[in-house]
Structure 1
Amino acid sequence: MKALYPCLWFDGQAKAAAEYYCSIFPNSKITSENPVVVQFKLNGQNFMGLNGGPQYQFSPANSYVIECETQEEIDHYWEKLGDNGKHGCCGWLDDQYGVSWQIIPAILGQLMANQEKAPRVMKAFMQMTKFDIETLMNA
């Protein structure tokens, strides 16, 4: 198998979406395009945008997780991807195209693995929209 990558179905906005995402993520670029398909990389990961029409919509049932090492990274992705989108709770948001993202601190798994600390961490993040690393670590 040569590659495994997601195909995102858009209603005529595949190129605009690819340009938007490439402007947000490092190490990103459009690699090829035609009127139907746009191939692009986000942080080195292959994606395909398909101009498939209005038949299908995105939903939170399929989301993309961004593990962030710092609060600055969380802030960056939260602001950029959430611009003209919808912010949800617990680090979730839908961007302006309807694609769902989870912007989470990379340390979250480690904090949740601590049986003593996990209930306090969960209580803290259930009250958050955008994750705050310092608050989670102090929970």
Structure 2
Amino acid sequence: MTAPRQKIIPCLWFETEAEEAARFYVSLLPDSRIDEIQTAPGDYPAGKAGDVILVEFTLAGSPYTALNGGPEFKFNEAVSLQVDCADQAEVDRLTEALSAVPEAEQCGWVKDRYGLSWQIVPNVLTELLSNGSPDVRLRVFNAMMQMKRLNVAALEAAARG
């Protein structure tokens, strides 16, 4: 008997790059892998029989699908994937790997080469905004609003005042 599937699985729509994107994403985070690649059994509006149509993959332990659906729909900033990062090194590594549109960077948000938005967030930011006094939270928030890539040392300095 197969294991039960997660009830809700995000599906990411690509024009033709589903497999390429999934392989790129799983290369970035631990506990990630390609689970299954499905090809079209027949011709369809965006491709032909034998083309990769769906890629099931696990990203940091969570299931996703990537669909080659054609050019009709594009990603926008209304949906993003947030990555909680342990430290500045992880923030820097993921920002460098994912950011393909530097002018779109703001407050830890980046846009990758496929147009998907990501939030690269150091854990310290969440802690400071959740547990700090009102003054600390305001200083940290104001510091964050001035940043493109989030900077752990600068956020901690803002918290100290």
Asked if TM exceeds 0.5, the reply is yes
Q: Paired residue for 1:43, among 44, 60, 68?
A: 60
Residue in 2 aligned with 1:128? 147
- The Cα of 1:69 is off from its aligned counterpart by 1.3
The C-alpha deviation readout for 1:32-60, integer Å capped at 9, x for no partner, is 00221000111121110000111100011
CA distance in 1, matches of 2:5, 2:54: 19
Q: Paired residue for 1:22, among 26, 36, 41?
A: 26
Choose 1 or 2 for highest CA Rg: 2
Q: Paired residue for 2:106, among 89, 101, 124?
A: 89
Letter in 1 for 2:29: F
Name structure 2 gaps, 5 residues minimum.
Answer: 39-51
Following TM superposition, the consecutive aligned residue runs of length 4 or more in structure 1 with deviations greater than 6 angstroms are: none
Q: Paired residue for 1:5, among 3, 9, 16?
A: 9
- The Cα of 1:25 is off from its aligned counterpart by 1.4
Residue in 2 aligned with 1:98? 115
CA distance in 1, matches of 2:135, 2:109: 25
Identity among equivalent pairs (%) = 38
- The Cα of 1:85 is off from its aligned counterpart by 3.6
CA distance in 2, matches of 1:118, 1:85: 29
Q: How many matched pairs?
A: 138
- The Cα of 1:22 is off from its aligned counterpart by 1.3
Residue in 1 aligned with 2:88? 71
- RMSD of Structure 2 on Structure 1 (CA): 1.3
| Helix, strand or coil at the partner of 2:12 | strand
| Helix, strand or coil at the partner of 2:114 | coil
State TM-score, norm by structure 1.
Answer: 0.93
Residue in 1 aligned with 2:36? 32
Name structure 1 gaps, 5 residues minimum.
Answer: none
- The Cα of 1:2 is off from its aligned counterpart by 3.5
CA distance in 1, matches of 2:65, 2:79: 15
- The Cα of 1:127 is off from its aligned counterpart by 1.0
State TM-score, norm by structure 2.
Answer: 0.81
Native 8 Å contact 1:67 1:105 kept in 2? yes
